[in-house]
């Protein structure tokens, strides 16, 4: 009797499996665009994508391109994660951000030392392997004031 076949490829737990409904979301993300769903009945945006509005239950929802702007709501520094490729990325910052359009979104913060993060930090979307992640917005340099 032969042992079961084992794949030598490493499973990627960080990449989505798009279905017919979410395909538009993931294709936009692969093009560097963040999409939300907006309800035509109550006007509210929501994220994660659903076929109905979680606020008023209407099915009058459409895709809308988001601004890509957000503020940091909360975060945690992950020091141990056994799933590939997360294990190679530790430590990393798992976060919840408030999108400018209203919804909250689970994500990862990149390009920032965890010690530099504060609630309310202004963020902008970036994409890694077609997955939306966020980084701090560049702050314009201040000019020295004359005294």
Residue 144 has pLDDT above 60, yes or no: no
**Number of helices and strands (H, E) in the chain?**
2, 8
pLDDT for 94? 97
Q: Could you tell me which residue, 14 or 35, shows the higher pLDDT? A: 35
Tell which residue, 140, 142, 139, 125, has the closest CA to residue 29.
Answer: 125
More confident residue, 4 or 34: 34
Q: 111: Cβ–Cβ under 8 A, 6 or more apart, which residues? A: 126, 135, 136
Q: What is the pLDDT of residues 35-87, one digit of tens each?
A: 999 999 999 999 999 999 999 999 999 999 999 999 999 999 999 998 888 88
pLDDT the model gives residue 10? 65
Tokens 């030392």 sit at which residue?
113
Answering whether pTM is above 0.85, one says no
What pLDDT, on the 0 to 100 scale, is given for residue 9? 58
Please report, for residues 3, 12, 20, 38, 90, the alpha-carbon distance to residue 86 in angstroms, rounded to integers and kept in the order given. Answer: 29, 9, 27, 32, 6
Q: How far apart are CA 85 and CA 13, in angstroms?
A: 7
């Amino acid at each position: 009797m032969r042992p079961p076949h084992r794949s030598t490829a490493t499973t990627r737990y960080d990449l989505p499996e798009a279905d017919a409904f979410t395909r538009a979301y993931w294709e936009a993300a692969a093009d560097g665009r963040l999409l939300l769903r907006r309800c035509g009945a109550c006007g509210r945006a929501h994220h994660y994508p659903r076929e109905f509005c979680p606020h008023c239950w209407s099915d009058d929802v459409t895709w809308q391109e988001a601004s890509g702007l957000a503020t940091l709501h909360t975060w945690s520094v992950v020091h141990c994660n056994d799933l590939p490729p997360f294990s190679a990325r530790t430590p990393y910052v798992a976060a919840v951000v408030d999108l400018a359009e209203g919804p909250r979104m689970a994500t990862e913060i990149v390009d920032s030392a965890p010690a530099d993060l504060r609630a309310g930090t202004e963020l902008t979307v970036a994409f890694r392997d077609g997955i939306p992640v966020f980084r701090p917005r560049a702050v314009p340099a201040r000019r020295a004031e004359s005294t």
